[in-house]
Structure 1
Amino acid sequence: MIRTGEQYRESIRDGRDVWINGEKVADVPAHPAFKPLVDIRARIYDMAHEPATRDTMTYTDPETGEVNAVQQKPPRTREDWDAKRAATDAVLSDVGGVVTRVGDETIGEVWSLIDGQDVLNAINPTYAENVKRHIDLACYGDPFHVSANTDPKGDRSKRPQDQDPDMLLHVVRETDNGIVVRGAKYETAAAYSNQAFTKPTIANWGDSELSDYALGFMLDMGAPGLKYICRTGFAGAKPIEDYPVSNRFDEVDTLVVFDDVEIPWENVLFYRDTKAATFIRATLHRYSAFAFTQRNLRLADLMIGAALWNVKQTGLEKQQAVQEKLATLACYREGINAHLTAAIAMAEPSPGGLLMPNQSLLYTGRVLACSQLHEMMHIARELCGGQICITPDKASFDHPDTKPWLDKFYSINEHWVAEDRRKLLAYARDLLNSDYAGHRLTFQLFAQSPPFAHLGAVYRNFDWDGPLDLVKDAARLSDNVLGSLGRSAK
């Protein structure tokens, strides 16, 4: 059964070794750096129980009669994808902002393992059984699931074996109970999650077919030997009135240190096989890229809203130059929307019997969303104007010595008084111009993989035969040219 928010909070009070700002955290759910996102994840659990939202957030399994989370269900129909999209939109609307690593954007990486069962069975049939069991656990146990991808890597001009071997996570020995691993991974939301799908990074994990770096497993985040060293958080660092986004939606990233952590055999999904590792890296985002890109759609809506309110309050929305910039933001937004909608409308069956979004449309949509984000943020900044970087803080608007002057210069008319303008400018600054805004921009660029990998996914999934055949016929080339492609004439 789906847990309640309070049950989730209790599940991460497991004695884990969490550090932030040189402080060991005694209570993760209550710590000011983690509490906002813990509360949001708890809210998602509670939405599954509340009458107003439970039909959007849950479904009833026809075989077991259990009520399960929509987001955890392996997709087999277009209706499944429509339901997932609606559930994500419901969450983002309920919490009032964009959160990425809350489970639905990472569980899809495990679904991709269903499509690799033949690869896994060729190595060890037990691995495919482990995959099935963990997918069932995700469906019925509804853990907060995250993703572990990036290692410290070290000197990337060298093989991992030719430097400190811990720069990439690797196996150091086997036991009767499982494998013992050492190294580190960067993981967003790790300190307050339940489990992580841990797999190789995009790197040379060794040229041996049986590399100790080519492994994947499901990690219990409360396992002994884990240490969580978190980056400085944005929540609580500055007043919420001045930084309403930073204080509510910062998903804390963590260096997770594996100090000889034992992974039980039943949690090992593949081990010492570069073929499996290569397959996983190539297919990792065939499902999860949808939920990831959907966040960019919501971010586009927030940028449009912030920019449009700012030009409307000063009466600039009727100017052609302003309308052109707003239209550019709208084109970006609708481009993402079109790719997501078409990817489901033209969804394709996966090798493992699931329904995956049209891969070419999904990956090109992700490139559009990520590669143009910085340009769209700059347009939104321009529309909001220079006041987002020069407006005083809330304390100055409240102090009796400065309040009359700020009321005078920030009030426009009876509809736009100083306090509402301050709120809008503070929101736009935090969305577009703050430390948190810069962090989010970089996060969206690299969160699923770097830009070259985004384009690599497009290259592997685009139908190149269509344009080739079109030009062959239009130019009246002979069938002989097909031999250069390894294809024969029909």
Structure 2
Amino acid sequence: MIRTGDDYRESIRDGREVWMGNERVHDVTSHPAFKPIVDIRAHIYDMAHAAETRDVMTYTDPETGELNCIANRLPRTQQDWWDKRRATDLVLDHAGGVVTRVGDETIGEMWSLYDGQDVLNEVDPRFSANIRTAIQDAMRDDPFHVSANTDPKGDRSRAPQDQDPDMLLHVVRETDNGIVVRGAKYETAAAYANQAFTKPTIANWGTDEMSDYAVGFILDMGAPGLKFICRSGFAGRAPATDYPLANRVDEVESMVIFDDVEIPWEKVLFYRHTRAASYIRSTLHRYSAFAYVQRTLRFADLLIGAALWNVKQTGLERQQAVQEKLAMLACYRETINAHLTAAIAMAEPSPGGLLMPNQSLLYTGRVAALSPLAEMMHLARELCGGQICITPDAAAFENPATAGWLGKFYSINENWVADDRRKLLALARDLLNSDYAGHRLTFQLFAQAPPFAHLAAVYHNFDYAGPLDLVRSVAGLSDKVLTSKGDQA
């Protein structure tokens, strides 16, 4: 059954070892750096029960008759994807900003492995049974599920065996109950999640066909031997009146240390199977890219709204140069929207019998969303003007010694008084200029892979046959020159 927010909070009070700076965090649900984002994730759970939101957030399982979370439902129809998109939009509305690691974007990685059950069966049929069980458990138990990809890596010019072997997560021994792993992973939201799909990031396995590094499993975040070493959070550093996004939607990353952690056999999805590891790397974002790109669409809306309100409150929206820049932001936004919409409208069957977004349109949409993101942020920054970096904090607007002067110079007319203008400038500063803004930009560019990998995904999923056949026909080339797939005959 779907859980409540309190159920979720209680589930992560499991004694896990969480560190931030020199502080041991004993309860992430109440710590200032974690509480805001934990509260948002708890609210998402409560939305599944609230009368005004539950119809969007849930569906009734036809076999059990129970309500389940729509985000975890296996996608089999176009309507499933429309429902998922609508639910994510509602979550972002309630969050009041962009939250990425809340589960709907990471569950799709498991669907990719569901599509590869024949690959898993090559080594051990138990592994394909385990992925089916893991997906059923996610639909039934509604855990907060995240993803673990990135390792510390070490010297990337050398094989992991030729340096400290712990630089990449690997199996150190087997037991009757499962496998024991050692190493580290970077994970967003790990310290306050229930479980993670943990897998390797190696691209080239060479001749190492049975590597101890080729392992994937479902990790219980309360397992003995785990340590969470977190970056310092943005929440609580400065007042929320000055940094509303940093204090509300910051998602804390952790280096998760695996100090000989035992993974039960029933949670192992592949092991010593480089083909399975390569398969999941090549198909990892088949579904999850949709949720990421949808969040970039919402980020584009924030850019447009912040920029447009800033030019409207100073009366500049009628200037042609301003309108042209706003139109560029609108084109950026609608390009993302068009790719998402078309990816659903032209969805295609997956190898495992699911319905996946049209892969070419989804991956080209991701490039269209992320490649110009820094440029679009700077365009919004230009439209907001220089006052987003020089406006005093809220305390100065409340200080009797300075409030009068700031009230005078920040009030424009009876509609735009100083307090509203300060709030708008504070939001724009946090969206575009703050530490949180810089972190958000980097996270968007690298959360799924570096930009070159985005282009590689486009290359491998675009259908080149049409353009090749067209030019062959127009030029009158012989059939001996090229096959329809571009291979030399």
Query: Do both share a fold (TM > 0.5)?
Result: yes
Q: Secondary structure at the match of 1:99?
A: coil
Q: 1:278 offset after TM fit, Å?
A: 0.4
Q: Establish whether residue 435 from structure 1 lines up as the match of residue 435 from structure 2.
A: yes
CA deviation map 1:170-213 (0-9, x unaligned) = 00000000000000000000000000000011445564100111
Indicate the residue corresponding to 1:26 in structure 2. 26
Q: Secondary structure at the match of 2:200?
A: coil
Return the alpha-carbon distance in structure 1 between the equivalents of residues 390 and 319 of structure 2: 24
Query: Quick one: structure 1 residues 8 and 316, their matched pair in 2 at CA, closer, same or farther if it must change by over 3 Å?
Result: same
Output the amino acid matched with 1:98.
V
Indicate the residue corresponding to 1:54 in structure 2. 54
CA deviation map 1:69-106 (0-9, x unaligned) = 00000100000000000000011111211100000010
Indicate the residue corresponding to 1:120 in structure 2. 120
Contact 2:215 2:272 survives alignment (8 Å): yes
Indicate the residue corresponding to 1:140 in structure 2. 140
CA deviation map 1:278-301 (0-9, x unaligned) = 000000000000011100000000
Contact 1:183 1:259 survives alignment (8 Å): yes
Q: 1:28 offset after TM fit, Å?
A: 1.0
Output the amino acid matched with 1:282.
S
Indicate the residue corresponding to 1:253 in structure 2. 253
Query: Quick one: structure 1 residues 303 and 164, their matched pair in 2 at CA, closer, same or farther if it must change by over 3 Å?
Result: same
Contact 2:465 2:486 survives alignment (8 Å): no
Return the alpha-carbon distance in structure 2 between the equivalents of residues 249 and 236 of structure 1: 12
Query: Quick one: structure 1 residues 8 and 217, their matched pair in 2 at CA, closer, same or farther if it must change by over 3 Å?
Result: same
Indicate the residue corresponding to 1:475 in structure 2. 475
Q: 1:393 offset after TM fit, Å?
A: 0.5
Q: Establish whether residue 75 from structure 1 lines up as the match of residue 75 from structure 2.
A: yes
CA deviation map 1:395-422 (0-9, x unaligned) = 1111111111111110000000100000
1:338-377 → structure 2 map (5 Å cutoff): 338-377=338-377
Indicate the residue corresponding to 1:98 in structure 2. 98
Output the amino acid matched with 1:377.
M
CA deviation map 1:301-336 (0-9, x unaligned) = 011000000000000000000000000000000000
Output the amino acid matched with 2:277.
A
Contact 1:159 1:206 survives alignment (8 Å): no
What TM-score, normalized by structure 2, do the two folds share? 0.99
Return the alpha-carbon distance in structure 2 between the equivalents of residues 480 and 487 of structure 1: 8
Contact 1:160 1:205 survives alignment (8 Å): no
Indicate the residue corresponding to 2:188 in structure 1. 188
Indicate the residue corresponding to 1:161 in structure 2. 161
Task: Let me know the Cα RMSD of the aligned residues.
Answer: 1.0
Indicate the residue corresponding to 2:263 in structure 1. 263
Return the alpha-carbon distance in structure 2 between the equivalents of residues 380 and 134 of structure 1: 43
Contact 1:388 1:425 survives alignment (8 Å): yes
Return the alpha-carbon distance in structure 1 between the equivalents of residues 370 and 220 of structure 2: 31
Contact 1:159 1:204 survives alignment (8 Å): no
Indicate the residue corresponding to 2:273 in structure 1. 273
Indicate the residue corresponding to 2:42 in structure 1. 42
Indicate the residue corresponding to 1:408 in structure 2. 408
Return the alpha-carbon distance in structure 2 between the equivalents of residues 147 and 125 of structure 1: 24
Return the alpha-carbon distance in structure 2 between the equivalents of residues 29 and 139 of structure 1: 24
Indicate the residue corresponding to 1:300 in structure 2. 300
What TM-score, normalized by structure 1, do the two folds share? 0.98
Q: Establish whether residue 88 from structure 1 lines up as the match of residue 88 from structure 2.
A: yes
Contact 1:407 1:418 survives alignment (8 Å): yes
Contact 2:182 2:258 survives alignment (8 Å): yes
Output the amino acid matched with 2:327.
A
Q: 1:487 offset after TM fit, Å?
A: 6.9
Q: Establish whether residue 284 from structure 1 lines up as the match of residue 284 from structure 2.
A: yes
Could you list the runs of 5+ residues in structure 1 that have no partner in the other structure? none
Output the amino acid matched with 1:209.
E
Return the alpha-carbon distance in structure 2 between the equivalents of residues 230 and 428 of structure 1: 27
Q: 1:433 offset after TM fit, Å?
A: 0.6
